């Protein structure tokens, strides 16, 4: 496990974008696993900036996102598909048919999850997986549990995640979908590189628990301690307890 200390959110975003750029430059046809949420927004903005300056080319890149709300169509402004279009895909030259997000509009959970695992399998796995971390230690939508789920599956969101995400639904928890399709912890662990971004005081306690406490499915991110190529980039606040 490597820990990179950044001064602030801007510095964190540049450092994380640097690692992703290195991946794209070294392997132009790489498979990038991507995340939504607040943490990676600055990273995506930095990648777009470097793309606009001509320093990055996404024409051969394929992407697979971690998760999607079940029941939200792609066009919904809170779907993760939409988030990715607005924050990255619309601004760079990634091919529209090379971007993948679980199909939240498919009500058949088993079929939707199986199809997503097949996509990742057919791509030969993920070269670099970008992650955030939830306040309860979740990665993707893998919430605290008594085991580490392997493949893509349908989850019930916990109260804590619904609370954390209601800010994106006008502050109304009733509007937050109650289920999601998420890549499993097994798939994340099979990524050849894993990069986590964490910022702010709110992440300090869970960062300490996840990476300096026991490896347990009660803190899903803790399993990353066992990943052979895991890098955490955090700002001073997020790393203040370690
Ligand atoms: C997003 C995802 C989530 C977030 C986590 C942190 O695709 O899978 O695990 O990474 O909830 O969210 P933020 O970055 O908003 O604190």
What values do phi and psi take at 231, rounded to 5? -125, 130
Phi, psi of 28 (to 5 degrees): -60, -25
DSSP string, 218-231: TBGGGGGGG-TTEE
Say yes or no to pLDDT of 168 above 90.
no
Question: pLDDT tens digit string along 89-143?
Answer: 999 999 999 999 999 999 999 999 999 999 999 999 999 999 999 999 999 999 9
Average of pLDDT values for 178-204?
98
With the most atoms of ligand 1 within 8 angstroms of its CB, the residue from 9, 13, 34, 36 to mutate is 36
**Class of residue 110 by CB neighbours under 10 A (exposed 0-12, middle 13-18, buried 19+):** exposed
Helix (H) or strand (E) holding 33: strand 31-34
Contact 128 CB / ligand 1 (< 6 Å):
no
Yes or no: say if 168 and 78 are a contact pair by the CB < 8 Å rule.
yes
Average pLDDT of the residues in 163-169: 86
The pLDDT-based confidence of 79 (bands split at 50, 70, 90) is very high
Query: Strands across the sheet with 153-156, in order?
Result: 67-69, 179-182, 153-156
- Tens of pLDDT, residue by residue over 119-131, are 999 999 999 999 9
Closest by CA to 133, choosing from 74, 200, 73, 189, is 200
Of the two residues 237 and 166, the one the predictor is more confident about is: 237
Supply the pLDDT for residue 232. 98
Q: How far is the centre of ligand 1, averaged over its atoms, from the C-alpha of 127 (Å)?
A: 20
Kindly report the protein residue whose alpha carbon is nearest to atom 1 of ligand 1.
36
Partners of residue 34 on adjacent β-strands: 65
How does residue 161 score in pLDDT terms, banded at 50, 70 and 90?
Answer: confident
Active-site entry in 68, 127, 136, 235: 136
Looking at the CA of residue 161, tell me the nearest atom of ligand 1. Answer: 11
Using a 6 Å cutoff on CB, does residue 66 contact ligand 1? Answer: yes
Query: Confidence band (pLDDT; 50, 70, 90) for 188?
Result: very high
**pLDDT of amino acid 160:** 81
Is 138 assigned a catalytic role?
Answer: yes
Proportion of the chain above pLDDT 90, given as a percent: 93
143 is catalytic: yes
- C-beta 138 within 6 A of ligand 1: yes
What is the mean pLDDT of the segment spanning 22-41?
Answer: 97
Going by the DSSP 8-state scheme, the letter that residue 7 receives in this structure is: S
């Amino acid at each position: 496990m490597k820990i990179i200390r950044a001064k602030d959110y801007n510095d964190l975003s540049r450092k994380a974008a640097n690692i992703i750029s290195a991946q794209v430059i070294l392997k132009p046809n790489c498979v990038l696993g991507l995340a939504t949420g607040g943490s990676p927004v600055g990273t995506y903005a930095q990648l777009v900036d470097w793309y606009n300056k001509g320093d990055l080319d996404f024409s051969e890149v394929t992407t697979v996102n971690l998760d999607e709300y079940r029941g939200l169509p792609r066009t919904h402004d809170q779907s993760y598909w939409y988030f990715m279009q607005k924050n990255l895909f619309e601004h760079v030259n990634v091919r529209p048919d090379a971007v993948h997000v679980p199909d939240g509009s498919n009500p058949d959970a088993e079929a939707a999850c199986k199809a997503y695992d097949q996509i990742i399998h057919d791509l030969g796995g993920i070269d670099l997986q970008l992650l955030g971390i939830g306040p309860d230690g979740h990665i993707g939508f893998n919430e605290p549990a008594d085991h580490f789920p392997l493949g893509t599956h349908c989850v019930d969101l916990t109260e804590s995640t619904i609370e954390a995400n209601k800010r994106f639904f006008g502050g109304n928890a009733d509007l937050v979908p109650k289920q999601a399709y998420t890549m499993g912890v097994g798939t994340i662990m099979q990524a050849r590189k894993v990069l986590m971004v964490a910022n702010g005081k709110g992440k300090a306690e869970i960062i300490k628990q996840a990476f300096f406490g026991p490896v347990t499915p009660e803190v899903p991110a803790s399993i990353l301690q066992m990943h052979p190529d895991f890098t955490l980039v955090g700002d001073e606040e997020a790393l203040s307890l370690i």
